[in-house]
Amino acid sequence: MNDSYHIEELEIRISNYLSGNCTEEEKEALFAYLASNEDAAKIFREMSAVWAVSSVPAFAKVEDANLSQIKEKIAAAEMKPVRSRKIVPVWLKVAAAIILLLGCNYFWYTYTENLTEVYTNADSPYEIKVPAGSRTNIVLPDGTEVSLNAGSVLRYCRGFGIRERDVTLDGEGYFKVAKNEKIPFFVNTNGVQVKVVGTVFNVRAYDDDNYVMVSLLEGRVNLATLSGSVMKLFPSEQAFYDKN
C-alpha cells in the first residue's frame, strides 16, 4: 500500500467502501491507512455521517449539497502520513451536525409520505430480507417504523412487542421506535447492542463491514459491546465501533 493517498484518491476509496464497491484487499488497505492517519480518519467519519443520512430516501434531495460541504473540508485538510500505530479507539464519538441541517421535522414529513406499511404477525417468527438495489419500509407489531437499506436482513422472534422488543440486524436500518418504557427496544448487531425506549436513529452493521456505525437524531440510546464497554449517545452524535 502507498504511504499516503492524495485527497481525491482517498475520497474515491472511502466512497467505494461505503457503497460496497471495493475488494477485500482495498478495504484492508484503506483501514490500515485510516489507523495510521488521524486526518484521514476524520474525513472518513465525516463522509460516513453524510452517507448514513443520505442513504435514507428523504435525504437524497440534499445529498449533493452535503457532499459539497464535506469536499470543502477534505480540500482544506492537511494529509500528513505518519508511522503505523494502533488502530483508532474502539468508540469514536463525533458530532454529526450535518444530520441537523434539515431538521427532524422536515425529515419525518418527507419520510412518512413514502412509508409503505407492512404490518407483521406478533405471534410468528419473522425474517425480512431486502434485495440488492432496493429499500423496504416496514411497521413492526409495536408500531416501530423501520426503513431497511439494500442487502439488509432484520429478524425478530415470537412475542415481539408483548414480552420483549429484540431485533437482530445485518445491514443498515433507520428506526423510529415506538415509545414503551416497560419494554425497551434492542437492536442486536455483530458486536454491538443498541438499547432504546423511544427514539430515532440509524444503524449500519453489515456483517462484512469492519465497523458498526450508530447515528442518533432524537432521544437517547445506550450502546454496549460484547466485551462489556458501554456508552451513551445523545442527539446529533454518532458512534463507530471497530469490530477488529
pLDDT digits (tens, 9 = 90+) for 67-88: 455 445 444 443 433 322 222 3
CA atoms within 13 A on the CB side of 114: 14
Query: Domains (ranges, CATH) in the chain?
Result: 7-88 (no CATH), 104-242 (2.60.120.1440)
Grid cell locating 136 = 423496504
| Cα–chain center distance at 61 | 19
Among 153, 165, 149, residue whose Cα is nearest residue 207? 153
43 close to 4: Cβ distance less than 8 angstroms: no
How large is the C-alpha radius of gyration of the chain?
18
45 close to 70: Cβ distance less than 8 angstroms: no
Among 11, 20, 44, residue whose Cα is nearest residue 171? 20
Q: Is the dihedral of CA 179, 134, 168, 93 positive or negative?
A: negative
Among 82, 27, 49, 46, residue whose Cα is nearest residue 244? 27
50 close to 59: Cβ distance less than 8 angstroms: no
CA atoms within 13 A on the CB side of 226: 8
Q: What is the pLDDT of residue 175?
A: 94
Phi, psi dihedrals of residue 50, rounded to the nearest 5°: -65, -45
231 close to 239: Cβ distance less than 8 angstroms: yes
158 close to 189: Cβ distance less than 8 angstroms: no
| Cα–chain center distance at 8 | 24
* Partners of 177 in the β-ladder: none
At 104, which helix (H) or strand (E)? Answer: helix 104-113
pTM of the model: 0.56
196 close to 213: Cβ distance less than 8 angstroms: no
Query: Can you give the pLDDT of all 244 residues of the chain as single tens digits?
Result: 444 567 888 888 888 887 777 787 888 888 888 878 888 877 877 777 666 545 444 333 334 444 455 445 444 443 433 322 222 333 443 333 333 333 333 333 333 334 434 444 444 478 899 888 888 888 898 999 999 988 899 999 878 888 899 999 999 999 999 999 899 999 999 888 999 977 889 998 998 888 888 888 888 888 888 777 888 888 878 888 877 7
DSSP structural state of residue 119: B
